[in-house]
């Protein structure tokens, strides 16, 4: 067999492969439609869509800082470049006003725009594919009936070539996406299945709490193992969660309903809007279903947290002796923190015991530094309880000293390295990041 003949065979195989991929990747453009009249949707359908859009954080991800709701251009920073969220208002030119229900459904389920272009995976279609047609149609109804049209062009993404070639996203989907609606597990309860549908689909918790591979896809074998997100750390939602008190179904339910857990701190950073602008719109039964699903995944034992020896040790260590404060971190904690975080004999709602929740026990100090620098405003946290920001009151060295005190003396864990440098880096990123 001659080399020329072998080369010809290889060329035919390559051409056939490219042709096959092109056939697989091609998606036709769907017709532009006249903007649907809001009155064509039932009030119940629109209201259902409003709740689902909130639970899916649609406004959070499709609204730029200072911009109009759902008008897009929220920057999603990835390791490959910045992707700008699209305008999903009913504007017929720059938004989705010309999209039919079928076009919207294809975007949600298959990650394909009306014009046939593949959507980038910053949009979590790999989760939304699990949603029912009925729920997707309800979100469409809400966007068309309740959201004001805004004429705002979406900015160009900054992805380099060839990552900016949308047709290649078809290959990414082929490798990493399990398309199809959620299939209930017959061996589980109705509540568990409802929670699984919500967590795996509309609320897409894994998009933040699951680490990603080099190509930006969730590592399915490490689901909910924790991951960096928006310069914070989304802790593991598994038994690997570092909190002293394991999360139970009741703990998840309480936290997601109120933004606070007695033994697990408060919702801050990227988690703040998840609770207060998103999940709070769901009925209580859905919050309980999410709690049941996550509680079963984490497998928390049925024990009394008040009897946990680490909790008791933290409470005891919190009784600071004003006559003897050994180092800078302890002195600063006593003067700046203890008035609000001191608990006498049991942990009290709204007074987090910092040494027992995840912020002081993660492998990185990121979340703790963020909270010390920028506090917790009234929009986050719980019940209007706020924490002041110390960005302009404490130096990098002082914040590092407080963090080191909590980590080493109170949590009794190995010290974080180069703390002052980490504080300086996070401070430089700016408030709110």
Contact 225, 210 (CB under 8 A): yes
Better-scored residue on pLDDT, 200 or 163: 200
For the cut 70, the answer to whether the pLDDT of residue 2 exceeds it is: no
Which residue, 344, 217, 209, is CA-closest to 290? 209
- Give me the helices (H) in 263-380, please: 271-273, 284-298, 309-317, 328-336, 338-341, 366-374
Q: Residue 166: which residues within 8 A CB-CB, separation 6 or more?
A: 117, 118, 119, 120
Query: Structure tokens of 335?
Result: 């003067």
Residue 271's CB: how many other CB atoms inside 10 A? 22
> What pLDDT score does 232 carry?
95
Contact 415, 408 (CB under 8 A): yes
Determine the average pLDDT of the residues in 334-355: 84
**Which range has the worst mean pLDDT, 84-88, 181-185, 330-334, 382-386?**
382-386
DSSP β-bridge partners for residue 234 = 227
> What pLDDT score does 131 carry?
98
Number of DSSP helices (H) and strands (E) in the chain, helices first: 18, 6
> What pLDDT score does 18 carry?
46
What is the tens place of the pLDDT at every residue in 250-273?
A: 999 999 999 888 888 888 899 999
CA 174 remoteness from chain centre: 24
- Give me the helices (H) in 27-70, please: 43-55, 58-61
Contact 263, 311 (CB under 8 A): yes
Whole-angstrom Cα distance, residue 251 to residue 262? 8
For the cut 80, the answer to whether the pLDDT of residue 324 exceeds it is: no
What is the tens place of the pLDDT at every residue in 194-221?
A: 999 999 999 999 999 999 999 999 999 9
Q: What is the DSSP letter of 283?
A: -
For the cut 70, the answer to whether the pLDDT of residue 162 exceeds it is: yes
Whole-angstrom Cα distance, residue 431 to residue 47? 35
Whole-angstrom Cα distance, residue 26 to residue 19? 10
Query: Structure tokens of 85?
Result: 């969220």
> What pLDDT score does 23 carry?
44
Q: Is the peptide bond before 162 cis (omega within 30 degrees of 0)?
A: yes
Q: What are the structural domains of the chain?
A: 21-176 (no CATH), 190-298 (1.10.760), 305-429 (1.10.760.10)
> What pLDDT score does 317 carry?
78
Half-sphere exposure at residue 134, Cβ-oriented, CA atoms within 13 angstroms? 5
What is the tens place of the pLDDT at every residue in 293-311?
A: 999 988 877 778 888 888 8
Half-sphere exposure at residue 186, Cβ-oriented, CA atoms within 13 angstroms? 0
Contact 51, 131 (CB under 8 A): no
Length of the chain: 433
Secondary structure class of 227 (helix, strand, coil)? strand
pLDDT band at 367 (very low <50, low <70, confident <90, very high): very high
> What pLDDT score does 353 carry?
86
For the cut 90, the answer to whether the pLDDT of residue 312 exceeds it is: no
Q: What is the DSSP letter of 173?
A: H
Whole-angstrom Cα distance, residue 369 to residue 395? 12
pLDDT band at 49 (very low <50, low <70, confident <90, very high): very high
Determine the average pLDDT of the residues in 74-89: 94
Q: Residue 285: which residues within 8 A CB-CB, separation 6 or more?
A: 194
pLDDT band at 432 (very low <50, low <70, confident <90, very high): low
Instruction: Show contacts of 119-122: CB within 8 Å, 24+ apart.
Output: 119/166, 119/169, 120/83, 120/157, 120/159, 120/166, 120/169, 121/169, 121/172, 121/216, 121/217, 122/76, 122/78, 122/83, 122/85
For the cut 80, the answer to whether the pLDDT of residue 393 exceeds it is: yes
Share of the chain above pLDDT 70, in %: 92
Whole-angstrom Cα distance, residue 201 to residue 210? 14
Whole-angstrom Cα distance, residue 68 to residue 149? 10
Sign of the alpha-carbon torsion through 64, 70, 75, 78: positive
Determine the average pLDDT of the residues in 85-101: 97
> What pLDDT score does 402 carry?
95
Cα 212 to Cα 82, 186, 248, 408, distances in angstroms: 17, 30, 26, 30
**Which range has the worst mean pLDDT, 231-240, 323-332, 386-395?**
323-332
Query: What does pTM read for this prediction?
Result: 0.90
Determine the average pLDDT of the residues in 87-112: 97
């Amino acid at each position: 067999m001659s080399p020329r003949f072998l080369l010809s065979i290889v060329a035919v195989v390559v051409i056939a492969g490219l042709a096959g991929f092109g056939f697989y990747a091609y998606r036709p453009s769907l017709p532009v439609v006249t903007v649907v009249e809001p009155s064509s949707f039932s009030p119940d359908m629109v209201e259902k869509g409003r709740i689902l859009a909130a639970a899916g954080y649609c406004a959070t991800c499709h609204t730029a800082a200072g911009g109009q709701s759902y008008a897009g251009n929220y920057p999603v920073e990835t390791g490959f470049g910045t992707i700008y969220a699209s305008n999903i208002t009913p504007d017929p030119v720059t938004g989705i006003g010309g999209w039919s229900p079928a076009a919207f459904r294809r975007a949600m389920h298959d990650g394909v725009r009306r014009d046939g272009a593949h959507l980038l995976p910053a949009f979590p279609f790999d989760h939304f594919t699990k949603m029912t047609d009925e729920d997707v149609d309800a979100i469409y109804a809400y966007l068309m009936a309740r959201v004001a049209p805004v004429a705002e062009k979406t900015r160009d993404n900054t992805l380099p070539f060839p990552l900016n070639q949308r047709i290649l996203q078809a290959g990414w989907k082929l490798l990493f996406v399990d398309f199809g609606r959620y299939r209930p597990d017959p061996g589980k309860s109705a509540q568990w299945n409802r929670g699984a549908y919500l967590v795996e689909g509309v609320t897409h918790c894994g998009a933040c709490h699951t680490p990603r591979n080099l190509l930006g896809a969730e590592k399915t074998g490490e689901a909910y193992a924790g991951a960096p997100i928006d310069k914070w750390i989304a802790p593991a939602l598994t038994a690997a969660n570092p909190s002293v008190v394991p999360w139970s179904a009741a703990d998840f339910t309480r936290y997601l309903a109120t933004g606070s857990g007695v033994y697990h701190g408060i919702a801050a950073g990227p988690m703040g809007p998840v609770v207060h602008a998103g999940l709070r719109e769901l009925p209580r039964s859905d919050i309980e279903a999410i709690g049941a699903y996550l509680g079963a995944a984490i497998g928390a034992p049925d024990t009394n947290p008040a009897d946990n020896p680490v909790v008791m040790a933290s409470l005891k260590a919190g009784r600071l002796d004003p006559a003897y404060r050994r180092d800078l971190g302890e002195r600063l904690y006593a003067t700046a923190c203890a008035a609000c975080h001191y608990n006498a004999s049991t942990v009290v709602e709204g007074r987090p015991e910092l040494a027992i929740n995840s912020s002081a026990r993660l492998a990185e100090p990121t979340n703790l530094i963020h909270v010390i620098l920028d506090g917790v405003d009234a929009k986050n946290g719980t019940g209007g309880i706020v924490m002041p920001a110390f960005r302009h009151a404490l130096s990098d060295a002082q914040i590092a000293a407080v963090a080191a005190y909590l980590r080493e003396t109170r949590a009794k864990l190995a010290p974080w390295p180069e703390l002052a440098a980490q504080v300086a880096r996070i401070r430089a990123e700016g408030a709110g990041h």
